[in-house]
Amino acid sequence: MTLTRVQPMPLLDVPPLPPLRVAMLGCGVVGSEVARLIIEQAEDLRARVGRPLELVGIAVRGSDRDRPGIDPELITTEAEELVGRDDIDLVIEVIGGIEPARSLILAALRHGASVVTANKALLAADGATLFEAAQQAGADLYFEAAVAGAIPIIRPLRESLVGDEITSVIGIVNGTTNYILDRMDTAGISFAEALAEAQALGYAEADPTADVEGFDAAAKAAILASLAFHTRVTGADVYREGITGITPADIASAHDIGCVVKLLAICQLSPPVLGAADRRVSVRVHPAMIPRSHPLAGVGDAYNAVFVESMSAGRLMFYGPGAGGSPTASAVLGDLVTVARNRLRGAVGPGESSYAARPVSEIGGVMTRYHLSLEVADRAGVLATIAQVFAEHDVSIETVRQNGRGAGAQLVIVTHHAQDAALSATVRALRRLDVVREVTSVMRVEGD
């Protein structure tokens, strides 16, 4: 007999409760942190759930990597086999991407497990299929980690504000692009320089496309809009512009009008109009100028924030780290405890709510404001010519400022709200004018 593996004896009159069995798909930055917490915080998790959580398997692509603190016997490359087991209560999916994540989640649900996922791309592309499978299985599908890392935003939208009418959700939901824009603003560097910095710090991938072109933010916008407006919105419904075209001139123009440039995910419900058809949903991701006084303007570095407006609650903001292994793991663990508790009570949390089924607007129909900087000929009648173009497109000008004279004369124009289609048509017409040498900056203005 050896003393090295002695286990504490359970008290004889309190038989230990059987654990809930957890399988994890993926073991990258987030997954290894989740595994570490499940193992290290076992006592707290047991107390909070009411049962121990036992990690019984982790599916990875290659099993050869060293994973400190994780029992190598837990590691498998057979993901299908793992989710096909009938003794798994809870499955955590942190692989990301569409396949094989979707097939594995569907298999897990079919086998009766509840699922916690951080997979924004999959939810935005095909959430409906997952929600339907969860409902048929009577199992939970939770995904707090899919949007804005550790910031609790899914649960507040799905539950806390479910008795309210949300009219707008505006988020800074991509930390990489917020870091880049913040550095362009505060350090006066170019997009390329700021991107290189972000890559050196590990904030941006070697291929930064998903972040800087707004794909990541668009997926999150689709998820937020679906929850806020009880309407199915997919990534394909989201109008998207990235930040690769943002120049120091744009940043300087924003400064001049007391604004800062942010990549925003904007989800809006159109106001009710008497006699009109359904209220519409618009969902878009693009850089925009927002006033420095707006709560989102102060969100610096790689932080995320989501600003929600609703009929009764008014203006709310949620702020925190939007990415990273630890914050994302916190969100996954919170969901894990909740679905574990649900399972012990034979309950399920809220499923998809898409009853409102509102139509989604094209970008052309969205009401917004434009900021324009134009280099113009300095001659009599230039402003009249330009103003005429705005008038022809039914776009009303809020402010015009003229900087300099002679060859370098510059006009800075901010419009009132107008349909995006009219605004972009105005810009196209301005570019064709002889008196306009160059349109140096065009950007939407939001958050007034």
**Stretch 43-72: interaction string toward its own copies, x if CB under 8 A:** -xx-xx------------------------
Q: Cβ(143)–Cβ(123) under 8 Å?
A: yes
150 binds its own copies (CB under 8 A): yes
Verify whether residue 120 is a known catalytic residue: no
231 binds its own copies (CB under 8 A): no
Give how many residues touch its own copies by CB under 8 A.
59
Short-list 221, 302, 300, CA closest to 265: 221
Q: Single out the catalytic residue among 51, 102, 120, 220.
A: 220
271 binds its own copies (CB under 8 A): no
- Supply the DSSP symbol for 360: B
333 binds its own copies (CB under 8 A): yes
327 binds its own copies (CB under 8 A): yes
The rounded distance, in Å, linking the Cα atoms of 105 and 150 is: 22
- Supply the DSSP symbol for 158: I
29 binds its own copies (CB under 8 A): no
C-alpha separations of 327 from 33, 49, 187, 331 in Å: 10, 20, 27, 7
Q: Which secondary structure element, helix H or strand E, spans residue 262, and what is its range?
A: strand 259-269
Burial 341-366 (b: 16+ CB within 10 A, else e): bbbeeeebbeebebeeebebbebeeb
- Supply the DSSP symbol for 24: E
Short-list 129, 325, 134, 362, CA closest to 240: 362
Nearer to its own copies, 161 or 222 (CB): 161
The rounded distance, in Å, linking the Cα atoms of 284 and 306 is: 14
Applying CB under 8 A, which of residues 274, 312, 379, 407 lies at the interface with its own copies?
A: 312
331 binds its own copies (CB under 8 A): yes
Applying CB under 8 A, which of residues 11, 346, 379, 448 lies at the interface with its own copies?
A: 346
Shortest Å distance, C-beta 34 to its own copies:
9
144 binds its own copies (CB under 8 A): yes
118 binds its own copies (CB under 8 A): no
**What residue ranges bind its own copies (CB under 8 A)?**
33, 37, 41, 44-45, 47-48, 144, 149-152, 155-156, 159-165, 230, 295, 298, 310-321, 324, 326-327, 329-338, 341-342, 345-348, 350, 353, 355-356
Instruction: Enumerate the active-site residues.
Output: 220
